Amino acid sequence: MKITIGKGSCGIAAGVNEVSRIFAEAGIEATVTGCIGKCYLEPIVNINDDIYVKVDSKGADELVKLIRGEPNQADTYKIPAQDLEILKSQTGIALKNCGLINPESIDEYIEKGGYTPHNMSPEEVIDQIKISGLCGRGGAGFPTWFKWKAARDSAGSEKYIICNADEGDPGAFMDRAILEGDPHAVLEGMMIAAYAIGAGEGIIYVRAEYPLAIKRLEIAIAQAREKKLLGAEKGFDIRIKAGAGAFVCGEETALIASLEGERGMPRLKPPFPAQKGYNDKPSNINNVETFANVPWIIKNGGSAFSAMGTENSKGTKVFALTGKINKGGLVEVPMGGTVKDVIYGAGGGIKDGKKFKAVQMGGPSGGCIPAELENTEIDYESLKATGAIMGSGGMVVMDETTCMVDMARYFLDFTCKESCGKCTHCRVGNRRLLEILERICEGNGKDGDIELLSELSEEIKAGSLCALGQTAPNPVLTTLKYFENEYIDHIVNKKCTAKSCKAFLNYQINMDKCKKCNLCAKKCPVGAITDLKIDSEKCTKCGLCASVCRLSAIDT
């Protein structure tokens, strides 16, 4: 009997360790696997070919009985048919092994066809990558073969391969899932790249917030060394460098500065890293998902990869679905599907039967795609045309209760904190944008604010050196483009239709619905409710009364 337990960070947060404990107590041996991408079903246990989901401690007890052949109710924990369908309908390239193999075992990876030797010359490898049409999956979407070739053609014998695992987009976690679930795929991708460009050393720059990913990479590297796939004899080795927390380090030149022990500030390009990168030597940087695609392409041929997707975007892309969505998690789909397919297909639609309003793609550098454009194709060009970007694949879904002005404010707050401070437009301009947005959200918007926002946004885009500054105003520009009415509501009509901006809320008890249980008064942290009246002077608009009321009798 083969028993595996899903132990990605998400599974652990959902309480899978309790399942492990119960199994261990019962003397049942189970192996570990990574995140299968269905985070909403965690904790997940596999027994032979059956998948059991949402396994709490009661579920674990039932599974113990099942394993021992005693009467049990394990069936109630079996994965619902519909979810199984979704799981099976995915195209796994980057995620092919995630949740299926033990990430801490190189043998399982090899069994699945990993580390198969190839007999291509470095030029042939680059050719295959070119044929595949693989583009960088980290955000910019630059053709991978081009970068590899540039690094190969650069003079000098000391070259570096760098893996950008500094997943900074808040709301995206596909890289974490790959590192935790299939670290060898990333190592193999880096080995192939090193061979193609002639690099002697590889460095993985991982976010320090991902301790489990670091641990699994360390194990994987040690195993690869033992098998002599890495090390002095091979002429190529890989080491890990833990990042120290800076969004801007997702930018290539800032990442290199950070590797060199400096503040992570971007510099002007050219020279490109392919000519002058880490330690001033030719370096090639790709992100985790890009590397994870490489072994598959080399094994199956570039044309098998380019057979999937659209004219300009080939292969598959992994998306992290989060926010107001029923089935949050990871999905890998061929390019060319629509945004709607992903949200209503794998994503299972919007939470609590609410109305879909928009989806943020590309994180703080991207933009929102409104519901009316839900048929937009997933392809670099089509997404760009909407004002959003493919980015690293974060899809944060928003419903009618999300205020778009507040979202723009949120992203600007983020970029202001993360701006490295080098360019005036980014450092000061974004701060001004934020102040205007804060003012609008607080109910003090004034005439001319909208024009000021768009004008300033354009200036910041033009006056910033790196992608962080150049893209920082995108959330403002896209919300202005698609949701100008919400701005007008805030500024002119002094209301927030999503009922999210506190300044516009006025809490009151609706006596038609109220059954006088007085729970709200008991819970109010500032004692603003007496005799079923809310004292607006005392009320801090925390919303606790509304959330505890079982009859929805609190109006705003």
Report, in Å, the least distance between residue 391 CB and ligand FES: 14
- Per partner kind, with CB cut-offs from 5 to 8 A, the member of ligand FES, other proteins, none near residue 475 is none
Which residues in 262-321 contact other proteins (CB under 8 A)?
Answer: 262-264, 320-321
With binding defined as CB under 8 A, does residue 260 bind other proteins?
yes
Contacts of 271 (CB under 8 A, 6+ apart): none
Of the residues 171, 200, 271, 345, which one makes contact with ligand FES according to CB under 6 A: 171
Segment interacting with other proteins, rule: CB under 8 A, options 239-247, 371-379, 456-464, 491-499: 239-247
With binding defined as CB under 8 A, does residue 210 bind other proteins?
yes
Report, in Å, the least distance between residue 5 CB and ligand FES: 22
Of 161, 170, 137, the C-alpha closest to 411 is: 170
Of 22, 6, 108, 104, the C-alpha closest to 67 is: 22
Report, in Å, the least distance between residue 171 CB and ligand FES: 5
With binding defined as CB under 6 A, does residue 143 bind ligand FES?
no
Contact 97, 183 (CB under 8 A): no
Of 136, 5, 86, the C-alpha closest to 330 is: 86
CB nearer other proteins, residue 410 or residue 504: 410
With binding defined as CB under 8 A, does residue 419 bind other proteins?
no
Q: 449: buried, middle or exposed (CB in 10 Å: 19+, 13-18, 0-12)? A: middle
Burial 377-407 (b: 16+ CB within 10 A, else e): bbbbebbeebbbbbbbbbbbbbbeebbbbbb
Q: What backbone torsions phi and psi does residue 356 show, to the nearest 5 degrees? A: -70, 130
Report, in Å, the least distance between residue 172 CB and ligand FES: 8
Report, in Å, the least distance between residue 466 CB and other proteins: 15
DSSP annotation of 164 reads E
Of the residues 71, 261, 270, 353, which one makes contact with other proteins according to CB under 8 A: 261
DSSP annotation of 355 reads -
- Per partner kind, with CB cut-offs from 5 to 8 A, the member of ligand FES, other proteins, none near residue 201 is none
Contact 180, 292 (CB under 8 A): no
Total of chain residues touching other proteins, rule CB under 8 A: 59
- Per partner kind, with CB cut-offs from 5 to 8 A, the member of other proteins, ligand FES, none near residue 143 is none
Report, in Å, the least distance between residue 355 CB and ligand FES: 22
In the structure encoding, which two tokens stand for residue 244, read together? Answer: 């120290």
Annotate each residue in 158-197 with x if it binds other proteins (CB under 8 A) or - if it does not, as one string.
---------xxxxxxx--x---------------------
E-assigned strands of 220-266?
A: 237-242
Q: Match 């049990």 to its residue by tokens.
A: 72
Which residues in 387-446 contact ligand FES (CB under 6 A)?
Answer: none
CB nearer ligand FES, residue 207 or residue 216: 207
Annotate each residue in 358-397 with x if it binds other proteins (CB under 8 A) or - if it does not, as one string.
--x--xx-----------------------------x-xx
With binding defined as CB under 6 A, does residue 170 bind ligand FES?
yes
In the structure encoding, which two tokens stand for residue 296, read together? Answer: 């598959």
> Can you give 502-542 as a three-state secondary structure string?
HHHCCCEECCCCCCCCCHHHHHCCCCCEECCEECCCCCCCC
In a 13 Å sphere around the CA of 309, the CA atoms on its Cβ side amount to 24
Which residues in 495-534 contact ligand FES (CB under 6 A)?
Answer: none
With binding defined as CB under 6 A, does residue 122 bind ligand FES?
no
Strands 237-242 vs 160-165: parallel, antiparallel or unpaired: unpaired
CB nearer ligand FES, residue 52 or residue 210: 210
Q: 526: buried, middle or exposed (CB in 10 Å: 19+, 13-18, 0-12)? A: exposed
Which residues in 345-364 contact other proteins (CB under 8 A)?
Answer: 360, 363-364
Of the residues 156, 235, 245, 448, which one makes contact with other proteins according to CB under 8 A: 245
Report, in Å, the least distance between residue 414 CB and ligand FES: 11
Report, in Å, the least distance between residue 175 CB and ligand FES: 12
Segment interacting with other proteins, rule: CB under 8 A, options 77-85, 230-238, 428-436, 539-547: 539-547
Contact 201, 161 (CB under 8 A): yes
Of the residues 4, 6, 10, 274, which one makes contact with other proteins according to CB under 8 A: 10
What is the identity of the amino acid at 237? Answer: D
- By three-state DSSP, how is residue 14 classified? coil
CB nearer ligand FES, residue 403 or residue 524: 403
The enclosing H or E element of 85 equals helix 81-88
Contacts of 179 (CB under 8 A, 6+ apart): 165, 186, 206, 210, 213, 216, 217, 288
Total of chain residues touching ligand FES, rule CB under 6 A: 2
| Contact positions vs other proteins (CB under 8 A) | 9-10, 12-14, 39-40, 42, 167-173, 176, 208-211, 241-247, 258-264, 320-324, 328-329, 360, 363-364, 394, 396-398, 402, 407, 410-411, 414, 420, 525, 542-544, 547
| Contact positions vs ligand FES (CB under 6 A) | 170-171
